[in-house]
Structure formats: C-alpha cells, structure tokens
Amino acid sequence: MRNFLVTIQYEGSRYQGWQRQENTKNTLQAKFESLLTKLAGEPVEIAASGRTDAGVHAYGQAANFHMDTALTPGQLMGEINRYLPEDVAVVACREVDARFHARLHAKRKVYRYRVLNSDVPHVFDRKFVYQVEKPLNVEAMRAAASFLIGTHDFKSFTSAKKGKKSTVRTVESIAIERVGDEVRFLFAGDGFLFHMVRILVGTLLEVGLSMREAADLGRVLAACDRGQAGFLAPACGLALMEVFYDT
Amino acid sequence: MRNFLVTIQYEGSRYQGWQRQENTKNTLQAKFESLLTKLAGEPVEIAASGRTDAGVHAYGQAANFHMDTALTPGQLMGEINRYLPEDVAVVACREVDARFHARLHAKRKVYRYRVLNSDVPHVFDRKFVYQVEKPLNVEAMRAAASFLIGTHDFKSFTSAKKGKKSTVRTVESIAIERVGDEVRFLFAGDGFLFHMVRILVGTLLEVGLSMREAADLGRVLAACDRGQAGFLAPACGLALMEVFYDT
C-alpha cells in the first residue's frame, strides 16, 4: 500500500471540527474518509497531525492515508479536489515512507489567531477574525507572553479533563503583531493541548485590555488550574497554519 | 438637511447588485434605503458612485444621502453598521457640501479583477477569484492592454443596448500583475460602461490563453461592435476598489 501525505486547507465555519464523531457526519475526517473510500473501492482511514475544534480553520493541516492506486500524487490530488466541497481543498500531495504517521511524527506546529481590533466590522475577513472593539495594549501582551515561552506544564491552559496524558508542552515562540486594524498572534511549538491556543489568546487579551497584569501569567502557569486562566477565545479567529516533519 | 458621504464595503455574492429594482428587495441600495429611512423616520434615498452588477464586490463603493440627525458622522456610521448584515459595512463616513453627489462628482474609479491561475482551488478566496487553470501569458496581456489606454469609444466593450449616451471613456491605466498563484488586473479611469471591466478582462484573458493576438485589441476597439470582443468574465472576480472626488 502506498502512503500519501497531503496538505489540506479548510474554512472550518461549517464543520464540527476535524475528528470523526459518532453523532455527526459533518466532520472533515468523515468527509475525507468517505471520499477516499469511494476512490479506493475499499475502506481508507486518514490520520491528521491533530484534531482542530469546530469552527477552526486550516491553511496547512497535514494528514496521511494508505491507498492502492496507480495515480501520481498530483493526479490523486486532482481527483480528491474534484469531489471536495468548495470550502476544503488539498493543496499538496506527496508519497512518503510506509511507516510515516502525520500525528506521531509531527515535530512542530504553527497556529495563528487573528483579532480585529476596531469598532468597524470586517466584511471580507469576518469569518476569520474575532472582533475586539476596545484598544489592545500589544506591549503588555508581549510581556505576558514571555512568561509562556519554554517547556512548561500547561494544565491551566486546557479544557481537557484530568487524565493520564502529559500536559507538558514546549512553546517555542509567541509573536504578537499589529497588522493594520488587526492584532495577530502566531504560536509555534511542539504541540498544543485541547483548547490551549484559544485559552492562551483569551488570557493574553485580558492583559491587553488591562483586566490582568502581564506578570500574572507566571502565576497562572504555576497554578496548573484552568480556573486561573482567561476566557476561551472564539474558534473563528484560529487557524492551523503549518505542520513540520523531519521527513 | 445634512449630506453624508459614506465608503461602503460589501461581498456581492448574495446580492442582485447595487441598484434598487422593482422585482427584488435584494439589492444593496434597497437595503441601505430601508435602513436609513428607519433611522431617519422619513424617506431617505442613497446615491452611489455607480451601480455594481449582481455578484460584484466593493472594497470602496462611495455613496451619499441627505438626513436630518444630531449624530456625528462616526456615531451615524456605528448606527448603520449595527443594522447592516455581516456582508456589508460602512467603513468611513463624513459630512460633505449639500450639493455633493456621489455619482455626478466622481472623478476617477479603480476596479480590481482577480484571476486564480492554477489548477489548485482557493479555499479562502474562492468567492473573490475567477479560476483559470491554463497558464496565462501576462506579457501578452500587457501588450494587448496598451491598446486600450487613453480616451476611446468603448462600444465594443459594453453590454449596454444602443442608446443616446456616450460610450466614450478614458482608461488611465491597466496594471496586470502576477501575485502568487493569481493574476490581478487593476483598472483606473474616469468611468466604466455597463459590463466594461468584465468584457475587457474576458478579452485580455483570451489573449493570455493565446486564443487571440495582442494587436487584435486595436481592431476590436475600432470596430465598435460587442461581437468582436471577448467573453464576459464572471462577476465574482470583480471588485470596485476606490472612487475619487475633488472634494
């Protein structure tokens, strides 16, 4: 069986997230598996680098699947795109080693969160930004973000129920830039917990709105208590930008 | 009565164009007049710089209306945006001379047409581009466009029925740039006839696809015959970017 690594873009607005679920067919994984199974004539499973929540977008989700086919990767990409709805597309496809796994081998991920910091609405990007009308203090948010860089237990910043899985992650960088009337957050790290980026953004926004001191972030991190962190920023502002592999 | 000049953005996909029509309420002018009439408590008419066709977008449509109100322009903009659907917004508002008219006083307009020149679909900009899979020859299209610059009778490039109105217009510039996997056309001129930009783009695309010689454009222009020009490019790729006034 050949193993294909695809790069996928989607506008998450219409979907119940990436991961297949019992109670709905409206997930991206279910769409892909149904389509690939039809193309292959036998059951195909697809493994993404990680799930994305309902409403979260992707510019560069990565996923792999095994399939017997005589098509080149380019031809296969064309076939898949022919059947995908217009808010999903495969933008790259290549063949990889049979043992490659998109989740297990992911080394690094980059997420972007877009905040429209203006009282004038965005017509064209309205589905991709979270609007905050009051002015944000970018310098204060940068100071707060500096407490988060490095390898820490991010238990305060996840909605995941208590479990055996480690909540230690390494955040390599958090860049916060004002771009026109937007404030954009770029997160790079080895992996992110359930809701982690959105809770980090919510907490940083509370600093940017002077509801919380920048230095408070150190305390929140050390507390390992979700109750100490800020609000869950809406899904619409978030996008998975890129997943990196050694291969 | 105070006179307000507003800059309007809209995603045209859902609308039957700007201009009020007898047979539908689904035009931008009708939406604005209904909303402004409610705000004012008496009938308000709005005059745009020009109509845009069904499906055409605007980043900077200009329009004016007369209203008695104690609100500042900023407050009025906020009130209007509160009631507009999310695919329309007023992004600027200022008070102008009582005699100012957005159509009659428009000096210059800039339109942009976006062509996705790739066989890979665009997820995020799909409603704002026209996809042409075959490679376009940008140099040939630039050579063709040079025949169109200046003051000419553009009768070949309009769908308007024969009438008494002049079909002479001045096209100041046509910039054609490759931006990533897109080819973008930027048109500046004193005004454009019904369907003119879209027929210009359709004809230039036929040159870009080697279906027509660049020098053919001179002949088409001189013919004053719509039948000699190329196809009507789809509305979705077109956007009115900016309208210029002396005031």
Distance between CA atoms of residues A105 and A247, nearest Å: 9
Name the residue facing A11 among B86, B88, B124 (closest C-beta): B124
Return the pLDDT at B160. Answer: 83
Question: How far apart are the CA of B9 and the nearest CA of chain A, in angstroms?
Answer: 7
- CB contact (8 A) between residue A120 and residue B77: yes
Query: Which residues in chain B have their CB less than 8 angstroms from residue A14's CB?
Result: none
Distance between CA atoms of residues A116 and A69, nearest Å: 45
Return the pLDDT at A162. Answer: 73
Return the pLDDT at B163. Answer: 77
Tokens of B188: 């500046």
- The residue annotated as part of the active site, out of B53, B87, B125, B246, is B53
Tens of pLDDT, residue by residue over B160-187, are 877 788 999 999 999 999 999 999 999 9
- CB contact (8 A) between residue B123 and residue A9: yes
What average pLDDT does this structure show over A92-115? 97
pTM: 0.90
Hunting for tokens 């490019």 — which residue is that? Answer: B233
Nearest CA in chain B to A181: B91
- CB contact (8 A) between residue B123 and residue A89: yes
Residue B190 is a catalytic residue? no
Return the pLDDT at A233. Answer: 98
When scoring B13, B75, B124 by the number of chain A Cβ atoms within 10 A, the one with the most, hence best to mutate, is B124
Tens of pLDDT, residue by residue over B198-227, are 999 999 999 999 999 999 999 999 999 999
User: At residue B19, what are phi and psi to the nearest 5 degrees?
Assistant: -75, 135
Q: Any idea how long chain A is?
A: 247
* Eight-state DSSP code of residue A93: E
Tens of pLDDT, residue by residue over A52-86, are 999 999 999 999 999 999 999 999 999 999 999 99
User: At residue B218, what are phi and psi to the nearest 5 degrees?
Assistant: -60, -45
Name the residue facing B9 among A86, A91, A123 (closest C-beta): A123
Distance between CA atoms of residues B140 and B213, nearest Å: 8
Return the pLDDT at A77. Answer: 97
Nearest C-alpha neighbor of B159 from the set B24, B54, B78: B54
A vs B: CB pairs below 8 A: 46
Query: Which residues in chain A have their CB less than 8 angstroms from residue B10's CB?
Result: 123
What average pLDDT does this structure show over A175-197? 97
pLDDT at residue A89 above 80? yes
Nearest CA in chain B to A128: B124
Nearest C-alpha neighbor of B47 from the set B35, B30, B65: B65
Nearest CA in chain A to B239: A124
SS (H, E, C) B148-195: CCEEEECHHHCCCCCCCCCCEEEEEEEEEEEECCEEEEEEEECCCCCC
Query: Which residues in chain B have their CB less than 8 angstroms from residue A10's CB?
Result: 123
Tens of pLDDT, residue by residue over B66-107, are 999 999 999 999 999 999 999 999 999 999 999 999 999 999
Return the pLDDT at A237. Answer: 98
Query: Which residues in chain B have their CB less than 8 angstroms from residue A86's CB?
Result: 121, 123, 126
Query: Which residues in chain A have their CB less than 8 angstroms from residue B52's CB?
Result: none
Nearest CA in chain A to B128: A124
Question: How far apart are the CA of A18 and the nearest CA of chain B, in angstroms?
Answer: 16
pLDDT at residue B145 above 80? yes
Nearest CA in chain A to B92: A120
- The residue annotated as part of the active site, out of A53, A125, A181, A225, is A53
Which run of H or E residues covers position A81?
Answer: helix A73-83
On whether the CB atoms of residues B187 and B197 are closer than 8 A, the answer is yes
